[in-house]
A and B are shown apart, each in its own frame.
Chain A
Amino acid sequence: SQQGEEDPQALSIQEGENATMNCSYKTSINNLQWYRQNSGRGLVHLILIRSNEREKHSGRLRVTLDTSKKSSSLLITASRAADTASYFCATAGPVTGSARQLTFGSGTQLTVLP
C-alpha cells in the first residue's frame, strides 16, 4: 500500500527559482525520507527527518515535517537544470509490527528549465 502521496505530480520552473514539493501520509511514522531519481536510474537518498524533528537542512534542501497534519515538504532553493528529476517521499513505519519497511509515494516530476 502507498502511504506517502506527493503533490504536485509534476512541477515545471525556471532555473534559479525555488521548488516546493509536498507529501502527505496516513499513519504514524518513525521517520520520513526524501529520494531523487534521474530518468532510468536508481533512487538516491537526499535527507531523513525523524518524527520528533520539525525541520532539517542539507545544502539547498530544506525539509519540514508536521506530524499533526501528517505532511512533509521538500524545498529546493535556487534550482538548477541538473535538479530535473523525480522526487519521492518514503515513510518509515513504526519499528514494531509489520510496518518494518519504507513505503514510497508516487513522486513529483520536477523539470527545471534553463
Chain B
Amino acid sequence: DGGITQSPKYLFRKEGQNVTLSCEQNLNHDAMYWYRQDPGQGLRLIYYSQIVNDFQKGDIAEGYSVSREKKESFPLTVTSAQKNPTAFYLCASSIEVLSPQHFGDGTRLSIL
C-alpha cells in the first residue's frame, strides 16, 4: 500500500539539542510538506518542496531546516534555535502543489 511514513511517533528533545524527524513517501509525489499543529489549532506550514533539491520556507520556518535529496524523503530538523518546539508535526505529500495532500500519522515532539 502506498503512503507516508513518519518516524518516530514520539520524540523528546533536550535543551540545546537538534532533532530530526523522518518522512518517507512511496506515492511517487513531487511535492512534500511539513506542518506544525499546536493543541486545538489548525496546521501551520513550516517548509515545502515542489521537487527534489528545492524547498521553500512556509509561514513559520525559523528554527527549522529541511533537505530534499531524494524524491521519497523530506526530513525536518528542529534546531536549538526553535525555542518552543513542543507540538505535533505532520508531513504530507501531493502530486503537485494545490492538489489534495496525503498525510502521515505525525510525530509528537516534547521537551525534556
Contact = CB atoms under 8 A, between A and B. Distances in A.
A95 B45 CA distance: 17
A13 B45 CA distance: 32
Size band of the B side of the interface? 20 to 34
Contacts of A2: 42, 44
Contacts of A30: 98
A102 B42 CA distance: 12
Interface residues of A, number: 24
A47 to B, nearest CB: 9
B98 A43 contact: no
Nearest to A93: B98
Given A42-B90, A101-B48, A106 B41 contact: yes
Contacts of A31: 98
Contacts of B58: 101
Nearest to A29: B98
B112 to A, nearest CB: 21
B75 interface: no
Contacts of B111: none
Given A40-B106, A43-B90, A105 B98 contact: no
A44 interface: yes
A42 B42 contact: no
Interface in B78-92: 90, 92
Interface of B: 4, 6, 33, 35, 40-45, 48, 50, 58-59, 90, 92, 97-98, 100-106
8 contacts: A31-B98, A33-B100, A42-B4, A42-B106, A95-B97, A102-B98, A104-B35, A105-B42
